[in-house]
Structure 1
Amino acid sequence: MSDSAETHVVIDTDAGSMTVKLWPEVAPKTVENFIKLAGEGFYDGTAFHRIVRGFMIQGGDPLSKEDHPHVGTGGPGYQIKAEFNDRSHVRGVLSMARSQDPDSAGSQFFICLGDATFLDRQYTCFGELIEGDEVLEAIGNTPTSMSNGGEMSKPENRVGVKTIRAKED
């Protein structure tokens, strides 16, 4: 992963594009998995299915390609081991979503809308937003309604992910 093109990805969404610098030095397996899934087109056509104003936007669930009743539970069919590190969950940080099991991440990720340092060393941070803060803000301000889990986080308007791809310098 020494090639700089492999450490930057562009997340192209319905709201615009965001560029993320990945951190293989602190989360090598997580970065490798994310790049692999992106390269396979796994994320193409998914959506940010969970948006919590002031906290984070979450995507990466293949079930979000359709209006599936279990959106938020999908993944690639495998899990990866957590790579907790000393990076802090602040605005623009990219991190892996998971269930209560620390080693249950697969494909779902989130981008912090604000400081969420209470997540530090409990979720795997693996990158940071370097371009497209206005896109992050726009997605974060998407109107939401009550989710099936009783959280005000279900986007009223779909915010799709067109592609996630390695950035060519």
Structure 2
Amino acid sequence: MQTNYGDIEFGFYPTVAPKTVDHIFKLVRLGGYNTNHFFRVDKGFVAQVADVANGRSAPMNEEQRREAEKTVVGEFSDVKHVRGILSMGRYDDPDSGSSSFSMLLGNSPHLDGKYAIFGKVTKGDDTLAKLEQLPTRKEGIFVMVY
């Protein structure tokens, strides 16, 4: 993933969350995350990528739109939410994950078993540290990027 603050490389966990990995990887291959952004950065907690359908500045083609609108069943595991983990975003419904995901910026055991872990940052921790320095504002319970 290329950002304005540096590159981030991921490794996926296909044996931990195969459906989630397939879905995210397909969106990556289709260019779904191109021109997307981080909408939430909560220092020591998460840097969250916007969902593809609403976060892109470029228009989507039909194949990107179809994949972006899919939801994935919650694939919860015993893997722990620690710095660098990729964790699927979702709503209250545990099976509502679509394309928004977080990169953990610290240990978050309260997420364990409740959010699907599908990978880990393998290069770019320095970029995560730069993201943590971005100016933010409080919006309800969330810390949002300006």
TM-score tier (shorter): 0.7 to 0.9
Partners of 1:28 and 1:60 lie apart in 2 by 21
Q: Is the 8 A contact 2:37 2:49 kept in 1?
A: yes
Q: Which amino acid aligns with 2:55?
A: S
- In structure 2, relative to structure 1, the CA distance for the partners of 1:136 and 1:146 (3 Å cut) is same
Q: Which residue of 31, 43, 47 corresponds with 1:57?
A: 47
**Counterpart in the other structure of 1:89:** 81
Q: Offset at 1:64? A: 2.4
Identity of aligned residues (%): 36
Return the alpha-carbon distance in structure 2 between the equivalents of residues 151 and 27 of structure 1.
28
CA distance in 1 between counterparts of 2:77 and 2:123 reads 23
CA contact (8 A) 1:96 1:123 kept: yes
Tell whether the 8 Å contact from 2:83 to 2:105 is kept in structure 1 after alignment.
yes
Deviates more, 1:105-114 or 1:76-85: 76-85
> Unaligned regions of 5+ residues in structure 1, if any?
1-10, 67-74, 157-169
Aligned equivalents of 2:50 and 2:22: distance in 1? 15
Aligned AA for 1:58? Q
Contact 1:80/1:104, CA 8 A, preserved across alignment: yes
Deviation >6 Å, runs of 4+: none
TM-score by length of 2: 0.88
Size of the aligned set, in residue pairs, is 136
Counterpart check, 1:16 vs 2:3? no
Where does structure 2 lack aligned partners over 5 or more consecutive residues?
58-66
- The 5 A counterparts of 1:12-161 are 12-62=2-52, 63-66=54-57, 76-147=68-139, 150-151=140-141, 153-156=143-146
- Using structure 1 for the length normalisation, give the TM-score: 0.76
Structure (1/2) with the larger helix percentage:
2
Structure 1 residues 101-125: Cα deviation after superposition (integer angstroms, max 9, x where no partner): 0000010100000000110010000
Q: Secondary structure at the match of 1:49?
A: strand
